């Protein structure tokens, strides 16, 4: 286990009707003027947004509403939200929705507290952000989709044209997240499935690491997240209203991306960086893109760290170890992971993804060149350093 600092200041308020506590937790922050941000979709049509606004106004809070968030949240709406906040002297941001709404809220908070252009926090030169945030408006969340973990993470992802970029900073962490599992029971199977892949991916990025063994606790935490998702997915496929399965998945979302499953190690994150370019190019749902990219990445990099992938195959995917031919065990583990993704109705090949299909080699190269780099030599990843040519091969394996 490497030296590290763990910070998770977000209060998780979990249970039936938890959203009724929203005004109280905003008041605890000493705030009174709230921007309620949402996607104008089901959360509005179902009456949830209006119920939340009514609760806030009954408590004497001033409320301004801004809808319109789309998957892979757009910079244009973030800039509009910054203007709305400044014009209305907003002092608290409340996201009602899932990861895209939360990330849009986070970016608005960064922009309100900054004199320059908010894109400075996301744009980079030679892998280094043009600006680093030091403050933000306080943010709260009423969570309606268990997926990105943004309700407890320091991460914020925004799309500008075909560029999808992130800003990781602790000022992004919400003050609280309201988690009523019943609010996720009406999700379509596709969104539930994408959410489960996203949850697993955040711990996978931390599980597959460049460090040698010995971090038994963090391994076990990651594996608990994986097993929770593997257990709850078939339950929710058969009974989407199952409260316990919804609750377990919802909390797994928060714990998988608040830093807990990365204690004492360096995460890889190459799969996320590669998928960001896929969803930036084709506007696919992040979890759906990860279901395609992660197995392809695994098939390409496992020879660098076979013991890690052997542990995943045996301890998570339930493959019986063949110590004479460990590569067969590893490959079977990857195959079972793909089978799991497909069992939830998700494609595991680019050619089978709606709106993507067979991708031209030139598009692959364009996406690979566009990936945000991490290391000074222009590569990404820690399990294996990946350069543009490697990323192209991963796209080819995902084809």
Residue 2 placed within a domain: no
Q: Is residue 35 within 8 Å of residue 139, measured between CB atoms?
A: no
Residues 265, 155 share a domain: no
Q: What is the rounded distance in angstroms from the CA atom of residue 45 to the CA atom of residue 52? A: 13
Give the helix ranges, DSSP H, for 113-215. Answer: 189-207
Sign of torsion over alpha carbons 309, 256, 259, 72: positive
Concatenating the DSSP letter of every residue in 51-107 gives HHHHHHHHTT-EEEEE----SS-BHHHHHHHHHHHHHHT--EEEEEESHHHHHHHHH
Residues 95, 31 share a domain: yes
Residues 242, 175 share a domain: no
Residue 53 placed within a domain: yes
Residues 111, 59 share a domain: yes
Residues 175, 194 share a domain: no
Q: Output the domain CATH number for residue 147.
A: 3.40.50.1970
Local structure of residue 39 (DSSP, 8 states): -
Residue 363 placed within a domain: yes
Q: How many domains, the chain? A: 2
Supply φ then ψ for residue 386, to 5 degrees.
Answer: -115, 125
Q: Which residues constitute the domain of residue 119?
A: 11-183
Answer with the one of 183, 208, 230 that is the final residue of a domain.
Answer: 183
Residues 155, 57 share a domain: yes
Instruction: Please report the beta strands in the chain, taking only residues with DSSP state E, as ranges in sequence order.
Output: 11-14, 33-37, 62-66, 92-97, 124-125, 128-129, 139-143, 155-160, 163-168, 176-179
Residues 97, 215 share a domain: no
Q: What is the rounded distance in angstroms from the CA atom of residue 118 to the CA atom of residue 112? A: 8
Q: Is residue 364 within 8 Å of residue 396, measured between CB atoms?
A: yes
Residue 105: per-residue pLDDT? 98
Q: What is the rounded distance in angstroms from the CA atom of residue 299 to the CA atom of residue 292? A: 12
Answer with the one of 163, 183, 203 that is the final residue of a domain.
Answer: 183
Residue 349: per-residue pLDDT? 98
Residue 311: per-residue pLDDT? 96
Name beta bridge partners: 164: 159
Residues 333, 361 share a domain: yes
Residues 218, 76 share a domain: no
Residue 111: per-residue pLDDT? 98
Residues 36, 62 share a domain: yes
- Residue from 45, 158, 177, 46 nearest 100 by CA: 158
Helix (H, G, I), strand (E, B) or coil at 34: strand
Residue 385 placed within a domain: yes
Residue 354: per-residue pLDDT? 95
The H or E element containing residue 272 is helix 270-282
Render each residue's pLDDT in the chain as its tens digit; 399 residues.
Answer: 888 999 999 999 999 999 999 999 999 999 999 999 999 888 998 999 999 999 999 999 999 999 999 999 999 999 999 999 999 999 999 999 999 999 999 999 999 999 999 999 999 877 788 999 999 999 999 999 999 999 999 999 999 998 899 999 999 999 999 999 999 999 999 999 999 999 999 999 999 998 877 789 999 999 999 999 999 999 999 999 999 999 999 999 999 999 999 999 999 999 999 999 999 999 999 999 999 999 999 999 999 999 999 999 999 999 999 999 999 999 999 999 999 999 999 999 999 999 999 999 999 999 999 998 888 899 999 999 999 999 999 999 999
Q: What is the rounded distance in angstroms from the CA atom of residue 202 to the CA atom of residue 153? A: 11
Answer with the one of 144, 166, 183 that is the final residue of a domain.
Answer: 183
Q: Output the domain CATH number for residue 299.
A: 1.20.1090.10
CA dihedral 44, 45, 48, 49 (to 10 degrees): 20
Q: How many CB atoms lie within 10 A of CB 133?
A: 21
Residues 283, 170 share a domain: no
């Amino acid at each position: 286990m490497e030296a590290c600092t763990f910070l998770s200041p977000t209060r998780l308020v979990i249970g039936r009707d938890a959203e009724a506590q929203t005004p109280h937790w905003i008041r605890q922050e000493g705030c009174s003027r709230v921007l309620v941000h949402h996607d104008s979709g089901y959360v509005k049509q179902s009456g949830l947004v209006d119920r939340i606004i009514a609760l806030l106004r009954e408590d004497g809070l001033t409320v301004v509403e801004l809808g319109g968030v789309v998957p892979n949240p757009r910079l244009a709406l973030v800039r509009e939200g910054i203007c709305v906040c400044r014009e209305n002297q907003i002092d608290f941001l409340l996201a009602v929705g899932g990861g895209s709404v939360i990330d849009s809220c986070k970016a608005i908070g960064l922009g309100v507290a900054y004199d320059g252009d908010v894109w400075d926090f996301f744009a980079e030169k030679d892998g280094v952000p043009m600006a680093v945030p030091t403050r933000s408006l306080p943010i709260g969340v009423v969570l309606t989709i268990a997926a990105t973990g943004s309700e407890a993470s320091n991460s914020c992802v925004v799309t500008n044209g075909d560029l999808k970029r992130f800003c990781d900073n602790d000022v992004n962490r919400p003050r609280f997240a309201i988690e009523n599992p019943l609010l996720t029971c009406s999700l379509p199977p596709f969104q539930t499935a994408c959410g489960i892949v996203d949850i697993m991916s955040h711990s996978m990025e931390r599980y597959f690491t460049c460090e040698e063994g010995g971090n038994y606790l963090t391994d076990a935490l990651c594996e608990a997240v994986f097993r929770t998702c593997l257990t709850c997915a078939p339950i929710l496929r058969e009974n989407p209203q199952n409260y316990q399965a919804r609750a377990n998945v919802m909390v797994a979302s928060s714990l998988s991306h608040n830093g807990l499953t990365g204690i004492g190690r360096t995460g890889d994150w190459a799969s996320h960086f590669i998928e960001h370019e896929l969803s930036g190019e084709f506007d696919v749902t992040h979890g759906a893109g990860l279901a395609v990219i992660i197995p392809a990445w695994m098939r390409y990099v496992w020879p660098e760290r076979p013991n890690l992938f052997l542990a995943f195959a045996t301890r998570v995917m339930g493959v019986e170890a063949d110590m004479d031919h460990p590569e067969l065990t590893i490959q079977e583990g990857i195959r079972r992971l793909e089978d799991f993704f497909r069992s939830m109705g998700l494609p595991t090949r680019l050619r089978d993804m709606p709106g993507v299909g067979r991708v031209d080699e030139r598009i692959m190269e364009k996406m690979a060149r566009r990936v945000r780099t991490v290391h000074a030599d222009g590569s990404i990843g820690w399990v294996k350093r990946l350069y543009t040519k490697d990323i192209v091969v991963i796209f080819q394996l995902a084809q």
